[in-house]
Amino acid sequence: MKQFFILCAIALGSSNSFGQALFTYGNSQVSKQEFLRAYNKNKPVVTDKEKSIRDYIELYSNFKLKVKAAEELRMDTIAQIKYDVQNFREQVTENYLGDEKGIQALVDEAAARAAKDVHVLLFSIPVAANAAPADTLKAFAAAKEMYAALQKGNEDYAAIVTDITAKYLPAKYADAGFITAFSLPYELENIVYSTKQGNSSAPYRSTKGWYIFKVAAQRPDAGKWKIAQVLFAYPPNADYTAKLAIKAKADSVYNLLQKGLPFADAAKQYSDDRITYLTEGELPEFTTGKFDPLFETVVFKLKVINALTVPFETSYGYHIVKKLAQMPIPADASDATYQFDIKQKVMQDARINIIKEKFAKDIFIKTGFKKNNAVSDADIYRYADTLMKNPSIENTNAQPISKKTIISFKDGSIIKGDEWLKFVRELKSNQEQNKGENNKKLWEKFSTETVLNYYKKNLEMYNNDFKFQMQEFKEGNMLFEIMEKNVWGKAGADNVPLKGYYNDHKANYKWAASADVIIFNCSNETAAAKTLALLKQNKTPLFIIDSSNAEVQFDSGRYELIQIADKNFSANNAVPFYSSIIKNTDGTAIVIKYLKLYPAGDQRTFEEARGLIINDYQNVLEQKWITSLKLKYPVKINEAVVKELIR
């Protein structure tokens, strides 16, 4: 019975017109929309729709009657319920502070891009932040000419860069290697993935200069890789002789590996990678674009697990790499685990700010955020500066704007100037949070924080899903309390009515075929085999437990045979006898010793039947209670709406 409240703790919501009310109970009502939300959330697969709906109306109306009884007793004011509701609110609120459709669009986009690696060539013309206007114009002209040359299909990149440098300003060219989703800042990733293979992007202006990206090639994603390496690092300013010596050392270790030296030993003894040499050279799992393009080019040529590269050189030194694993991305981008992984990356990436900024703008509109123009920006900024000369609470309250309304919302809520001043005082006094923003930036931050806090506090007004989820949780807690008070607690509190019920219904409490048994629960199959062997040696349960190293526990009692999962049981065995080892799906196992067998039909004593009696008596109490509630709050069903639901 205690699971009933979980099933019935459905969302609360009512319609304002009886025409849309499915049923009323007393002076309260349940709308068609509320009922459908509950029904669609919990409905079983059925063939008779009308019966299913009418059965659920009965179930749901009984639930609402119980909640109404709990409300009349003000159970929503119980300290534990208030605490649980507030705690639940804090847990789920963050789930509603974003645009889920927008987030999913970013996830889908990232998943599509992650399926494809893109080989990028990067052309750039650096421009200093303090460059003269003439140099800025030169850089723009250089970028246009470089783009035109690339568009013509000229692949002599060195010549293009040399020509642009001679005509305008120093230009650069680099092979960035293959990249994938999340390899570049989102703005640059958009440029690369919107450029077709063989084409170049239009010149892009950043704070550091002009950039052009050429997509040289594309390939299916390389997947996730696990590798280990032995690194022979170049010392600072290594000359040619030093590099030759390091190459010779790498070749020597490679020969030892070929002769059977374990890779883990080679990493511990010879690797200069101080991060991985103690973990057998193993690097963190990675995808395309994580390491130097040359490094990845060599590594990705390894085709089989445990294959080794010959020593190869990068700017860091010489590497010997062993392939440990390669996991391709799922063929189905909707795979739940893959979607979760991509979503986590999206949520941690700067691209999520696009959704957050849009969501914040939407909130300003939804809440009717309005700055009081009677208080000028100049005063808002000026009194913030004045306060910081003496940032005390007393001086905060003494500022002329402290008691003035500076922000209002469409429901009439207001924010006064002292909230702004407190925000400024706390932010500017905190060295970690103080980034030296001017007052205009601080006001923007304060406005966003204020509207977000207001929105969170009043979330039920703006999001029906949140409203229903909170109501569901609150009603579930209230239902549990009222059921404990009126049904569960009553049924087990007094043996007198229970014994009376037992005496009136003895025929309902008889044993099926049963047995006195000792059940040994073993942590694994080996322990079960040892237990069975000891039982056959007539060892006592206590001896078996003491010698099991805490791998065995036992229980004893009379059980109906249908409760015992022994497929090999035979009533023809002479007691005592033992079950075979019964394996569980979680790796544990059971052994059973049968002491006595009983035929079906034995009468259960009151104590033997007490749990069953309590359960049945709870049903009796609950039905009596529901009958009294229906007399107090008559349930009236709107048949016209029921027929709409059945159609």
pLDDT, position 8: 41
**What is the pLDDT averaged over residues 147-172?**
94
Which structure tokens are listed for 74?
Answer: 């003000």
Least-confidence region, from 84-93, 331-340, 631-640? 331-340
| Residue partners of 404: CB distance under 8 A and separation at least 6 | 372, 374, 375, 416, 417
Domains and CATH numbers, the chain: 1-114+467-506+604-647 (1.10.4030), 116-220 (3.10.50.40), 224-327 (3.10.50.40), 370-408+414-457 (no CATH), 511-602 (3.10.50)
3-class state of residue 22 by DSSP: strand
Rounded to a whole number of angstroms, the CA Rg of the chain reads 37
At 168, give phi and psi (nearest 5°): -125, -85
Q: Using a pLDDT cut of 70, give the percent of the chain over it.
A: 96
pLDDT, position 567: 85
Contact at 8 Å (CB) between 617 and 491? yes
Residue 581, sorted as left (phi over 0), alpha (psi -120 to 50) or beta, turns out to be beta
Angstrom distance (rounded) from CA 153 to CA 200: 10
- In this predicted structure, the answer to whether residue 12 has a pLDDT above a threshold of 60 is no
Angstrom distance (rounded) from CA 587 to CA 584: 6
* Kind and range of the H or E run holding 629: helix 606-632
pLDDT, position 371: 96
Which structure tokens are listed for 626?
Answer: 């529901």
Residue 368, sorted as left (phi over 0), alpha (psi -120 to 50) or beta, turns out to be left
Least-confidence region, from 32-46, 155-169, 349-363, 457-471? 32-46
| Residue partners of 507: CB distance under 8 A and separation at least 6 | none
Amino acid letter, residue 305: I
Which structure tokens are listed for 455?
Answer: 């929105």
Bridge partners for 323 per DSSP: 227
Closest CA to 492 of 375, 580, 621, 383: 621
pLDDT, position 498: 94
pLDDT, position 433: 67
| Residue partners of 614: CB distance under 8 A and separation at least 6 | 491, 492, 498
At 235, give phi and psi (nearest 5°): -75, 165
Which structure tokens are listed for 16?
Answer: 């304002």
- In this predicted structure, the answer to whether residue 18 has a pLDDT above a threshold of 60 is no
pLDDT digits (tens, 9 = 90+) for 516-561: 999 999 999 999 999 999 999 999 999 999 999 999 999 999 999 9
Contact at 8 Å (CB) between 12 and 46? no
Confidence of residue 33 (pLDDT cuts 50, 70, 90): confident
Angstrom distance (rounded) from CA 175 to CA 184: 14
Beta strands in 504-634 (DSSP E): 514-522, 552-560, 577-578, 582-583, 589-598
Mean pLDDT of the chain: 91
Decide the pairing of beta strands 116-126 and 172-179. Answer: antiparallel
- In this predicted structure, the answer to whether residue 399 has a pLDDT above a threshold of 80 is yes
**What is the pLDDT averaged over residues 575-586?**
92
**What is the pLDDT averaged over residues 250-274?**
94
Number of H helices, E strands in the chain: 25, 18
Give the number of other Cβ atoms within 10 Å of residue 428's Cβ: 18
| Residue partners of 512: CB distance under 8 A and separation at least 6 | 560, 561, 562, 600
Angstrom distance (rounded) from CA 378 to CA 392: 22
pLDDT, position 96: 87
pLDDT digits (tens, 9 = 90+) for 462-516: 998 899 899 989 999 999 999 999 999 888 888 899 999 999 999 999 999 999 9
pLDDT, position 172: 95
Which structure tokens are listed for 422?
Answer: 């407190």
Lookup result for tokens 């190869």: 312
- In this predicted structure, the answer to whether residue 2 has a pLDDT above a threshold of 60 is no
Angstrom distance (rounded) from CA 131 to CA 533: 88
- Exposure class string for 334-371: b at 16+ Cβ within 10 A, else e: eeeebbebbbebbeebebbeebeeebbeebeeebebee
Contact at 8 Å (CB) between 629 and 65? yes
- Exposure class string for 471-509: b at 16+ Cβ within 10 A, else e: bbbbbbbbbbbbbeebbbebbeeeeeebeebbeeeeeeb
3-class state of residue 172 by DSSP: strand
More confident residue, 106 or 277: 106
Can you say how many angstroms the Cα of residue 521 is from the centroid of all Cα atoms in its chain? 35
Q: Which ranges in 233-327 belong to alpha helices (H)?
A: 240-258, 263-270, 293-299
Bridge partners for 320 per DSSP: 230
pLDDT, position 437: 83
**What is the pLDDT averaged over residues 423-438?**
80
More confident residue, 11 or 229: 229
**Predicted TM-score of the model (pTM):** 0.61
* Intra-chain end-to-end CA distance of the chain, in Å: 33
